[in-house]
Chain A
Amino acid sequence: MLVCPKSTSHLHKFRQGNRMYVADLSQCLVLEIDNIVWEILDLCSYFSSEEIIEKLGNKYDTELVIAALNSLATMDQQGLLFSNLDISSPALETETPQKLKILVLQRSPYTADITLATGGVSVAHHNLVKSLGVYASLDVGSDRDERFNESVQGIRFQVDDKSALLKLMANNYDGVLLESHLENRFFSFLHCIDAPFIVPIYSARGHNGDVINTGLVWYAAMRPFDAFLVPTNSVKDLYGRFVCDKDIFHTIPLGVDTNKFYPLEKQKAKNEIAKMLNKPEIATSPVVGFFSRFQPEKGAGIYIKIAKLLPNVCFLMTAPTLNIYAHQELPPNLICAPQQPRDQLVRFLNAFDVYCFPSMVGEETFGLALLETMACGIPPIVPKLDGLPEVVGDAGIVVTAQTYDDEIGSFAGTVSPNVMADAVNTLLTDEKTRLALGQKARERALTFTWDKTAQNVIALFRRLKRIQQLENGYKRHFGISFVPYLNNRRKQIESRAILNNITLQKERPLMKDSYAQSIEVGLALALLRKHSRHEVEAVLHHLYGQDRAQATLEKVFGLEESVNG
């Protein structure tokens, strides 16, 4: 039964015809109600449930009143009618007017357990949201609508729920942050929510082209005030090969919590891990670490080969599963540890003398595990692929790799196990260099903080908001006609477009009444009335190729700008 009194200041009752309705203004929802509920709602902000039953008892059957209170209780449990959160928020806003209001859309619930997470995306997202909370008040799309902490409010919604969508539309966000670009079920929100979207791309290629194609869908629909957040310039460079608008990519490196990932006394760490895994050789031999999913794309095969090439060195890897390699004989010097909880990782990583990450799939936009290992003062050895070199900088060894620039869907490159093994060997035998690089790795990792990432994201939101303010307003679109043209000189019928000097608002901004244009310019202008600039780019790319598309777009945007200002 509904426990009263309840606040009803966000409810509005009305009659239309002979029907009765209640509008829940905080949920943007209207429900049809009957007489009893109508009266309960009148009373329930002042009286307890028992008093209500008593008061209505002389008018209605008591059982009916109780049934109504029960059904209201069910609604309350679903978060309907009585969960009013908007009342307190305006006050909060006036206290901190500078704080941005940001909507976070994600796949996993806010409280997702990341203690075991191995996917870089959820680790990155979790840390980013946590750090953003300092600078912004966040609404997190979630399965419930309660406050998680001071700055994070859960907003209950489902993608298909219109009233939930309306609520988001009415909330006037300063920005929307997605978990990653793969969350494309939020795609339609671009058309409804009038705030800049920041869409992070954490995987740029591989997966048979799926990830780049999802990225390209976002690209197509994005407005001039939306942005992709990419962790390294490598992603920007990759997309830059296919799309004209490169400015939509903003490089903001990820961070690492250097208080959780830090150097320990090496021998002590090695002893502990040796004891834990019951492998004494860890304590006595040099250790080459691997810390990623154990699969071909991440270079597991290469790693095994390196282990075979260096039989006197201990190879220590941790992964949730060995995948296909569980069924094959692995070299005796390769020690497979089960997945480590995140709070245990610092000890485990400190047992490495060097970190070897021969990934070859080409989806290492950043390498969060790499940065975490570096933060523990372990010198990394990585192939020169994707974002890895940008993270390593001069604090490790970057091995030359064969890259396949045209390969987007599968392996982006290969690295020779021999070359990797040589690099590992060199570093293991040269203790001075190894320790120096380890020191450098730690120092470099200290420059990547989540706080910096969050500040950069906030700065980006502010910049996008400014762009949005400049974009919004009065847009003029010209009437375009497509007409055949009798070319008397060439004795043939040709096609051309005509820009009529009349806008949708029936103004005549230009000097002359009409201007003949090529079909491609006319087509671009006509499509721009309904479609985004990037969509028009796709069309022109299809019809005329990349170079001509770009030239046409520049011309058309120039015209638009000169007319609209």
Chain B
Amino acid sequence: MIQFPRNLHNLHYFKHNGKQFVSDLDAGVVIPVNKVVCDVLNACSVSETDTIIDDFSDRYNRSEVFEALAFLSKLSEIGLLFSSHPAEMELIRRNERPKIFMTAGILESRKTTPFLLSAANHQLLKMLANYSDLYLPVSETDNNRQEIEDGLRTEGVQSIFFRNDRSFSPAKFIPKDCTGVLALAPLTVGEQVFLKFNTTPVILRLSNEALISHKARSTVLERCAVLRNFDAFACDASWTQTFFSDFVPDLGVFHHVPYGVDTSVFKPMDKTRCKHQLSQALGNETILQKPLVGIVPGLNSHETLRFLRKLRFANPDFNWLVIHSTQMDDDTNDGCVNFFNIASLQDKEASPFIFNALDALVFPTILGSFPLLLLEIVACGIPTVVWGYSKPKEISGACRFIQISPSLFDPVDLPVESISQELRFLLENPNEQKDLVRAGLKAISTWSWEETIQRILRLFGDLQNRKVPEYKSTKHRLLFRKHYNPVCGKIESEAFVLSKVPTLLDIEQAIAMTLLEEHTPMEVKTVLHAICKEPERVKKILENLL
């Protein structure tokens, strides 16, 4: 379909004997038109195609509007009425308060999201509402409609009610002058449509913790493919993207936007007092006798327990505290291994004291760990041993680090021996501890909620500016056809550009050219990989076109 807005030639409209005409003075022709075409022409230099279709739907029936659009597209193809390039997209007016459309997925996922993530998102939403207008679609037929609306209002989010009707997708309700779509929860399948037939930038919040499941990782790969160059992932962990580096050519879609740390709550406190409190709370005297090592798992519960058994066996002289916010079968509790499940607001309020009771932290930079825990614990001045895919940038690498390599399918390697060595080194070297704590605290001081919000708004601004197509299609029509090859006597297929001098193209290249007009380079690459035998050719075709 023809894309508006477009700049128009020098046009003159007139009526003659009751019939409407428009003359294109640049091309020197007169075109008989009907009322609909005339109205579309009047609107199309300022409005987008979608807007025109919507605005006209009460005046004309849809097929009339589509007929008019098809007619104009034909005229455009023979070089009439429109200048060759679509008008520049209107850039976002920076001084205005941004309008952000939230995906409804966040409402549903609240029930299933671990408490910590849910609380962080809640905080993010509240902070974001101070800087922008937030909208969230709510189904008109929802039974708790009023309740939801009230709930959202307290968070500063405006509800947009929509009829749950097949003739409309929620994508229709994105406000026209919207800065962008923010998906805090993974897009539901239905919400993927925000990435199709829309020109609003979309930021997908990527929670590292949620990527513990294979299915979620697969979904990220799928989303990567359909992200346009004005969409992005906002990762809460700096290491999420390293996992995907082998599968996604353009890591530019990943942006690091950590959650904020409230340093007035998470700060170093009196360690001895905290240890006493914890020991009392757990009814475990041994906590005061042996060093207490905190563990944030990032593994499924089965693997976590295996990990713990190994660590405990290698280090009988430590106490362990597993800090988690998901369900865990803690049947191994023998006094050395303790569990702290942050599952409510009350737990959350207790957490600064509990973190302060730790002597060291073991944290994995793998998919599945919750990065805000690392920040909050480091903010409490706890020295850290990190194992995983990459050094955590959020604490400027202020940790003892053990590298493991990411792998798509196999279970994670558990470097128990190295972790034990590093832990011992750390606990025996107070100076190293001091250095790490100092560097950690300094790094943490930059991660305020303010910073999180600014990063999101800046990202939306960047994406808005990027809304120019990566790929410029040829002016001419492409034709695929069968062809008799007299040399080998067979029917083959070929493609060519229907310019004055038809140019032959490889079918694969022509497919790529056609698809690039409406699909992302990643999608096209996926298709090419499926249809070309040699990977080298795929590379060459894409390099040629982009």
User: Measuring CB to CB, which residues of chain A are less than 8 angstroms from any residue of chain B?
Assistant: 9, 12, 14, 16, 21, 23-25, 28-32, 162-163, 165-166, 169-170, 188, 191-192, 208-209, 212-213, 216-217, 219-221, 242-243, 406-410, 472-475, 479-486, 488, 491, 493, 495, 498, 500-509, 512-514, 519, 522-523, 526-527, 529-531, 534-539, 541-543
Contact = CB atoms under 8 A, between A and B. Distances in A.
B486 A208 contact: yes
B181 to A, nearest CB: 14
A243 B12 contact: no
Contacts of B484: 209, 212-213, 216, 242, 408-409
A217 B30 CA distance: 31
A12 B16 contact: yes
A513 B104 CA distance: 15
A74 to B, nearest CB: 17
The 5 closest A-B pairs by CB, nearest first: A220-B481, A479-B196, A542-B493, A409-B486, A483-B222
A360 B88 CA distance: 61
Given A166-B31, A526-B515, A541-B482, A21 B23 contact: yes
Contact of A506 (B74, B197, B477, B492): B197
B190 interface: yes
Given A507-B167, A514-B192, A14 B14 contact: yes
B174 to A, nearest CB: 10
Contacts of A165: 78
A451 B73 CA distance: 40
B514 A527 contact: yes
Contacts of B62: 474, 505
A360 to B, nearest CB: 17
Interface stretch (B127-135, B213-221, B414-422, B460-468): B213-221
B488 to A, nearest CB: 10
B523 A162 contact: no
A408 B482 CA distance: 14
A519 B527 contact: yes
B12 A407 contact: no
A509 B168 CA distance: 9
B10 interface: yes
Contacts of B193: 479, 500-502, 506, 513
B477 A220 contact: no
Contact of A219 (B16, B168, B481): B481
A506 B79 contact: no
Given A24-B30, A542-B492, A504 B530 contact: no
B189 interface: yes
Majority secondary structure, A binding face: mixed
Q: How big is chain B's contact interface, by range?
A: 35 or more
B507 interface: yes
Nearest to A515: B189
A408 B489 contact: yes
Contacts of A16: 10, 12, 25
Nearest to A171: B32
A163 B29 contact: yes
A406 B247 CA distance: 46
Contacts of B172: 506
Interface in B489-532: 489, 491-495, 498, 507, 511, 514-515, 517-519, 523-524, 526-527, 529-531
Interface in B42-73: 50, 53, 62-63, 66-67
B288 interface: no
A519 B531 contact: yes
30 contacts: A14-B14, A23-B14, A28-B29, A29-B29, A29-B30, A30-B29, A162-B78, A162-B80, A165-B78, A192-B78, A220-B480, A220-B482, A408-B484, A481-B192, A482-B225, A483-B523, A484-B526, A486-B217, A488-B409, A495-B527, A498-B222, A502-B171, A504-B1, A506-B197, A523-B511, A526-B515, A529-B518, A531-B478, A535-B479, A536-B480
A34 to B, nearest CB: 16
Nearest to A497: B527
A491 B410 CA distance: 9
Interface string B16-44: 11000101110111111000000000000
Given A16-B10, A508-B169, 7 more contacts: A14-B14, A166-B29, A208-B486, A495-B530, A505-B53, A526-B519, A531-B514
Contacts of B524: 482
B282 interface: no
B166 interface: yes
A493 B224 CA distance: 14
A130 B63 CA distance: 38
A530 B517 contact: yes
B145 interface: no
Given A25-B30, A531-B514, A483 B12 contact: no
Contacts of B21: 12, 23, 25
B301 interface: no
A484 B197 contact: no
B431 interface: no
A170 B531 CA distance: 43
B529 to A, nearest CB: 6
A221 B67 CA distance: 20
